[in-house]
């Protein structure tokens, strides 16, 4: 072979390593170590005292023991690495042999703010507000109890005039174009006329009842009078809503006008009885409402008391035609 010396050099070589200068070699042989082997036989080496054998175990060098221990440690480490490598190999092989898994299908999240599988979370938009709940049933032009209550610090005539004005306003509250058009909005469109009128009354009636009667709203003696007030209100609303259109010059309206105070008489319990002249006014001649009773004259009897600076009707009111 080219990397060994000829036989002549081998016969005269020792058991040392010789390195040929790189200048004497070319190509891949440059800087290669050339080993020269000794041809001395085993028997000759023993008799020439070139091989020494230990007589006892103590003659073993510490280096030999440490090499043996090192071999054991390295062997154990190599074995553990081999086991680990085998486990990885088995795991990989097992994974490669499994049937391909289908991609998970994203389901609609139960929480509307949960991020669906596979999508990036989206930062909330600043100033974004949740939609407001639909507003409840509303009566346009509905006053408050405080706005309707009659001031007690007035003359009897002024009190009588204000009371008739509040009673008259009760009948017409909700009788306007806005409420007529409101019948077709949202869920109101599913209501019949009488049902819609009843819903308006549910909002309007309690306000006027409290303003005029106070705590007597729950008094059984007042229930018949209150029922008549509610009925009058419903009839005016229905007539008003049905008289918008080309058949009518004006939608129906009705009001009570104060004409005079016929008398104010104090009672032993501190209350005062008022006899009030009233005339009813409407515009039945401008629409299809018949028998409206325009110009109908009455005398109203109202028993009042002054409570906490406000006037309250403390007995059921009565109306007598003149």
Report how far residue 237's alpha carbon sits from residue 168's, in angstroms, rounded to the nearest whole number: 13
The closest of 256, 304, 258, 255 to 277, measured between CA atoms, is: 258
pTM of the model: 0.59
pLDDT at 14 over 70: no
pLDDT at 277 over 70: yes
Q: What number is the average pLDDT over the span 101-106?
A: 54
Per-residue tokens: 17: 């390593």
- pLDDT, position 51: 58
Average pLDDT, the chain: 76
DSSP 5: -
- pLDDT, position 75: 41
- pLDDT, position 294: 86
pLDDT tens digit string along 218-236?
999 999 999 999 999 999 9
* Residue in the structure block whose two tokens are 């009233």: 278
Per-residue tokens: 206: 């309690």
- pLDDT, position 114: 56
- pLDDT, position 246: 80
- pLDDT, position 215: 96
Tell me if residue 204 falls in helix, strand or coil: helix
* Residue in the structure block whose two tokens are 């007690």: 152
Report how far residue 231's alpha carbon sits from residue 237's, in angstroms, rounded to the nearest whole number: 10
pLDDT tens digit string along 73-100?
434 443 343 334 344 333 434 444 444 5
Is there a contact between 272 and 303 (Cβ–Cβ < 8 Å)? Answer: yes
Is there a contact between 272 and 264 (Cβ–Cβ < 8 Å)? Answer: yes
pLDDT tens digit string along 38-65?
556 656 655 666 656 555 555 555 444 4
Q: Which helix (H) or strand (E) holds 300?
A: strand 296-307
Poorest-confidence range of 2-11, 100-109, 127-136? 2-11
Burial per residue of 205-240, b for 16 or more beta-carbon CB atoms within 10 angstroms, e otherwise? bebbbbbbbbebeeeeebeebbeebbeebbebbbbb
Q: What number is the average pLDDT over the span 142-149?
A: 98
Is there a contact between 281 and 295 (Cβ–Cβ < 8 Å)? Answer: yes
Report how far residue 266's alpha carbon sits from residue 303's, in angstroms, rounded to the nearest whole number: 9
Cα distances (Å, whole numbers) of residue 43 to 12, 50, 54, 62, 91 = 20, 10, 17, 28, 55
- pLDDT, position 199: 96
Identify any residues that bridge with 313 across adjacent strands, giving them in sequence order.
Answer: 304
The closest of 163, 168, 171 to 305, measured between CA atoms, is: 163
> Predicted confidence band at 289 (pLDDT cuts at 50, 70, 90)?
confident
Poorest-confidence range of 108-117, 254-263, 278-287, 305-314? 108-117
- DSSP code string of 192-203: -HHHHHHHHHHH
Query: Which of the two residues, 193 and 86, has the higher pLDDT score?
Result: 193
Query: Which of the two residues, 148 and 292, has the higher pLDDT score?
Result: 148
- pLDDT, position 106: 54
- pLDDT, position 50: 61
- pLDDT, position 95: 44
- What's the CA dihedral at 115, 118, 119, 120 to 10 degrees? 90
Q: Determine the number of helices (DSSP H) and then strands (DSSP E) in the chain.
A: 8, 8
Tell me if residue 40 falls in helix, strand or coil: coil
Query: Which of the two residues, 126 and 154, has the higher pLDDT score?
Result: 154
> Predicted confidence band at 101 (pLDDT cuts at 50, 70, 90)?
low
Report how far residue 271's alpha carbon sits from residue 314's, in angstroms, rounded to the nearest whole number: 8
């Amino acid at each position: 072979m080219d990397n060994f010396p000829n036989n002549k050099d081998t016969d005269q070589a020792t058991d040392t390593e010789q390195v040929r200068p790189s200048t004497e070699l070319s190509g891949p042989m440059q800087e290669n170590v050339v080993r020269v082997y000794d041809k001395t036989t085993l028997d000759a080496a023993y008799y020439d005292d070139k091989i020494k054998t230990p007589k006892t175990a103590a003659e073993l060098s510490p280096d030999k023991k440490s090499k043996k221990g090192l071999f054991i440690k390295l062997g154990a480490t190599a074995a553990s690495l081999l086991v680990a490598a085998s486990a990885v190999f088995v795991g990989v092989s097992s994974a490669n042999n499994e049937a391909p898994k289908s991609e998970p299908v994203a389901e609609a999240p139960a929480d509307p703010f949960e991020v669906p599988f596979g999508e990036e979370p989206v930062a909330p938009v600043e100033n974004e507000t949740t939609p407001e709940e639909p507003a409840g049933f509303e009566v346009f032009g509905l006053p408050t109890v405080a706005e309707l209550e009659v001031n007690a610090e007035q003359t009897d005539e002024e009190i009588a005039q204000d009371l008739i004005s509040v009673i008259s306003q009760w009948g017409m509250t909700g009788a306007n174009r806005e409420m007529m058009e409101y019948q077709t909005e949202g869920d109101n469109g599913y209501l019949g006329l009488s049902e819609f009128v009843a819903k308006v009354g549910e909002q309007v009636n309690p306000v006027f009842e409290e303003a005029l009667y106070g705590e007597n709203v729950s008094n059984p003696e007042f229930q018949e009078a209150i029922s008549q007030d509610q009925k009058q209100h419903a009839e005016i609303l229905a007539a008003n809503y049905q008289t918008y259109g080309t058949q009518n010059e004006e939608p129906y309206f009705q009001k009570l006008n104060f004409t005079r105070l016929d008398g104010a008489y104090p009672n032993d319990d501190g209350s005062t009885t008022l006899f009030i002249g009233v005339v009813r006014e409407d515009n039945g001649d401008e629409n299809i409402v018949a028998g409206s009773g325009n110009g109908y004259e009455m005398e109203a009897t109202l028993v009042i008391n002054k409570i906490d600076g406000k006037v309250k009707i403390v007995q059921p009111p009565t109306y007598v035609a003149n």
